[in-house]
Amino acid sequence: MASGGTAKLLGGRPLSRLIRDALVERIVSGGIEPGARLVETQLAAEYGTSQAPVREALRELEAVGMVEIRPRRGTFVRPFVQQTLRESYVVRAALEETATRLAILAGTVPAAELKAAVQAMRAAARSGDAHAAARASVAFHRHVVLAANNELLAISWEALQIEARTSVAMVAAGLSLTEIARDHAELLKSIVDGELETACRHARDHQWRYADLPHDAHGRLRETAG
């Protein structure tokens, strides 16, 4: 297997992300327990690669709060806390509502790219490929953010480690790939229709839905099962 932090596997996905996603699944499923130490050399041997992509994967997991890297002691799995995901979706809601507003006002909505991303999500749902669905979802939202032509907004959005958090959310919440594709199709329609306030509200609500908080973005108490 190829080595190095920039090594690629089938589908052109960076090796570090394949390792990251594999570790996410093992941590969230309980295959690797909280407090466990992750040893780079052992993981490298397990995945048949060098330590560089393993180290990069662990850094991404640290950025989303799943592991803690302690100098001279190693990397340890932190207790998985849903709160970090909820917080990230609330922040995303604000950023993507703003990005949607700026893109519509500027007439820079990348309709073709957004439609292609939705088609990719539908294809991923049909094949049951959660990783492909996650990549298409991230691509969809990145297109909107970049269309806003606001560098600080884009930097803030990327700083949330969107790709890693999306992978975590899909594994942790067991989200339906069909529902994800349908949600994005509805969001696409509202953006392409160009009705500013409707599209902005939809962009915000889309993220708040995944935040799974007691109240929605309008302050209404959500219904609870039971």
Residues 125 and 207 in one domain: yes
Domain count within the chain: 2
CATH number at residue 106: 1.20.120.530
**Is 224 within a domain?**
no
Is pLDDT above 50 for 4? no
**Is 196 within a domain?**
yes
Confidence (pLDDT) at 83? 67
**Is 23 within a domain?**
yes
Is pLDDT above 70 for 190? yes
Residues 59 and 117 in one domain: no
Residues 90 and 134 in one domain: yes
Confidence (pLDDT) at 12? 53
Q: Which domain holds residue 148?
A: 82-211
Q: What is the 3-state secondary structure (H, E, C) of the chain?
A: CCCCCCCECHHHCEHHHHHHHHHHHHHHHCCCCCCCEECHHHHHHHHCCCHHHHHHHHHHHHHCCCEEEECCCEEEECCCCHHHHHHHHHHHHHHHHHHHHHHHHHCCCCHHHHHHHHHHHHHHHHHCCHHHHHHHHHHHHHHHHHHCCCHHHHHHHHCCCHHHHHHHHHHHHCCCHHHHHHHHHHHHHHHHHCCHHHHHHHHHHHHHHHHCCCECCCCCECCCCC
Confidence (pLDDT) at 215? 53
CATH number at residue 28: 1.10.10.10
- Domain edge (last residue) among 56, 77, 98: 77
Is pLDDT above 80 for 13? no
Residues 71 and 179 in one domain: no
The pTM of the full predicted model, rounded to 2 decimals, is 0.71
Is pLDDT above 90 for 117? yes
